[in-house]
Amino acid sequence: MATISPTRITPAAQAESGPVLSLSHITHDFDDVRAVDDVSLDVMPGEVVCLLGPSGCGKSTLLRLAAGLETLQAGEVRLQGRVVAQPGRRQTPPEQRNLGLMFQDSALFPHLKVVDNVTFGLDGVAPPKRRQRALEMLKKLGLDSYADSYPHLLSGGQQQRVALARALAPEPALMLLDEPFSALDARLRELTRDDTLHVLKNSGAGTLMVTHDPEEAMFMADRIALMRDGRIVQLGTPYDLYCHPVEPFVVRFFGEVNEVSAVVEDGEVRSAFGTVPAPEFADGTAVRMLIRPEAVSVRLVSETRAHQRSHVVVSRLLGRTSLLHLCVHTDNGGEFHGHSRMPGVFLPAPDQPVAMELDPSQVFIFPIP
């Protein structure tokens, strides 16, 4: 595993040096499909920014425009303050942009040893120093003992780390990563992204990374740009997006939720799951409640007549948490399916009657338009 050492760039130096990548008002069409729609975004030195969103929302197109792999149609791309693409001007080709690229498929040269794959990008370095630089990079990723092996002898995760070493060896100011871990299986993905995060942070480069996986974005990112239909819906820290989502789409994107409609009464919203305060809404406002399963705290109660109140349908241990499938009863005799996520091992039997309480910090209320 990579060793963790402090980032080279201090926050003060970061603020002074300005963004390493600046995208301004980028719009891009493929025939009649608007892939990117007026996106503006900065990446600071040493910062990891994730482009997150469902498939087809324009993440890769935006990354390719930053790289210079697509011809810019509208807006402007700046790298370290310098304009590299503007409509009507010759744009700077990718190899002159001082950036490192990494994709889902590492595409190493199969006929070159690992170390030679890494030296490949080091044209500007004197030959005797190239090997040394490549070995240093491989060492940071725990791969120095594979330097003289051929890529096919390495696992998928190791190959991706070689690709990362190759991209980082020229010390680019900006790293652009498109779904770099999606071809790896779960355990390998976790290890590889952990190493990648620390090596990127230690390099001082700014990073723009594409992913469709919200957990991966939260793991990697200082800031996340959540996209839908070519636009940024919300840009902020993982905390901002998870705890202060600006619209229902943001809540739903970070995981399955219980949803109910309600009306604000006396500054509160009542639901069959429980009541939460809603002082920011006028009484009588029709609202949608999005309730994360972890907001629903379940207490076991005794009840002589089965099914007279909310009860457990089935309980499942997921590891760190237990997921309870509930039959939720409403005041007027209705019932619907709901989920509660409880910490640790908590596995009440089917038909067990329950009472519920809500943690308001995990409940989000939006007016119904």
Ligand X SMILES: Nc1ncnc2c1ncn2[C@@H]1O[C@H](COP(=O)(O)OP(=O)(O)O)[C@@H](O)[C@H]1O
C-beta separation of 310 from 354 below 8 A: yes
Counting contacts by CB under 6 A, is residue 61 touching ligand X? yes
Compute the least distance from the CB of residue 176 to ligand X, in Å.
Answer: 13
Q: Out of 55, 302, 304, 332, which residue is the one contacting ligand X (CB under 6 A)?
A: 55
Counting contacts by CB under 6 A, is residue 71 touching ligand X? no
- For residue 213, count other CB atoms closer than 10 A to its CB: 16
Counting contacts by CB under 6 A, is residue 58 touching ligand X? yes
Counting contacts by CB under 6 A, is residue 217 touching ligand X? no
Q: Which is nearer to ligand X, 35 or 79 (CB)?
A: 35
Q: For residue 86, give Cα distances in angstroms to 184, 226, 267.
A: 36, 25, 51
Which among 170, 194, 202 has a CA at the least distance from the CA of 46? 202
C-alpha 354/C-alpha 142 separation (Å) is 51
Q: Which is nearer to Mg ion, 66 or 291 (CB)?
A: 66
Among the residue ranges 51-59, 90-98, 112-120, 360-368, the one whose residues contact ligand X (CB under 6 A) = 51-59
Counting contacts by CB under 6 A, is residue 203 touching ligand X? no
Q: Out of 4, 13, 15, 33, which residue is the one contacting ligand X (CB under 6 A)?
A: 33
Counting contacts by CB under 6 A, is residue 229 touching ligand X? no
Counting contacts by CB under 6 A, is residue 35 touching ligand X? yes
- DSSP-assigned states of every residue in 47-72: -EEEEE-STTSSHHHHHHHHHTSS--
Q: Residues near 142 by Cβ (< 8 Å), separated by ≥ 6?
A: 1, 2, 161, 195
Counting contacts by CB under 6 A, is residue 60 touching ligand X? yes
C-alpha 152, offset from chain centre: 30
Binding site for Mg ion (CB under 5 A): 60
Compute the least distance from the CB of residue 56 to ligand X, in Å.
Answer: 4
- Binding residues for ligand X (CB under 6 A): 30, 33, 35, 53, 55-61
